[in-house]
Amino acid sequence: MRVLVTGGAGFIGAHVVATLAAAGHESVVLDALLPSAHPEGAPSGLPGDRVVVGDVRDREAVADALAGVDAVCHQAAMVGLGKDFADAPLYVGCNDLGTAVLLAEMAAAGVRDLVLAGSMVVYGEGRYDCPRHGTVRPGPRAEADLRAGRFEPRCPDCGAE
């Protein structure tokens, strides 16, 4: 499979590219190499079988990166808390508009499979209750559960959903 990893030069994206390669998949990286994410300059030897230095808000760059791609892992984002509220348009541009441009170009290219990064900053840590053990902190979901489409976290004591 050939996978477009947006933000593939970043912390999560670089691990995704390495994991794809280890599993025998090809990757295309689309990354704008934002100075805020790469204060020491562009990393040398970017991962990926093909690298497009470009912005997810740029339709042409996204369309180019999508050529021959089967699925997309969208990790390009401005992350962390802004230092200044004046940065808000930049965050909304990269994160919201960028995702919208990506989705529009995926629709045009007929690419239908997307993994979208989420963050606790958006969805919160949540609270989990077991009918027998009360409030609990579940560990990571088991791969077998994920493969079977079971996303409900399990009680660390009794395994109940």
d(CA 48, CA 111): 19
- Answer whether 36's CB lies under 8 Å from 59's CB: no
- Beta strand residue intervals within 66-124, DSSP E: 71-74, 113-116
Stretch that binds ligand NAD, among 21-29, 74-82, 106-114, 142-150 (CB under 6 A): 74-82
- Tell me the closest approach of the beta carbon of residue 63 to ligand NAD, in angstroms: 14
7 touching ligand NAD, by CB under 6 A: yes
Mark 113-152 with x for binding to ligand NAD (rule: CB under 6 A) and - for no binding: ----x-x---------------------------------
Instruction: Tell me how far, at minimum, the Cβ of 44 lies from ligand NAD, in Å.
Output: 14
Give the three-class secondary structure for 141: coil
Alpha-carbon distances, residue 2 vs 5, 72, 126, 138 (angstroms): 10, 9, 34, 33
Give yes or no for residue 154 binding ligand NAD (CB under 6 A).
no
Strand 113-116 and strand 71-74: the pairing is: parallel
Among 21, 33, 46, 71, binds ligand NAD (CB under 6 A): 33
Residues in contact with ligand NAD by CB under 6 A are 7, 9-13, 31-34, 37, 55-57, 75-79, 94, 98, 117, 119
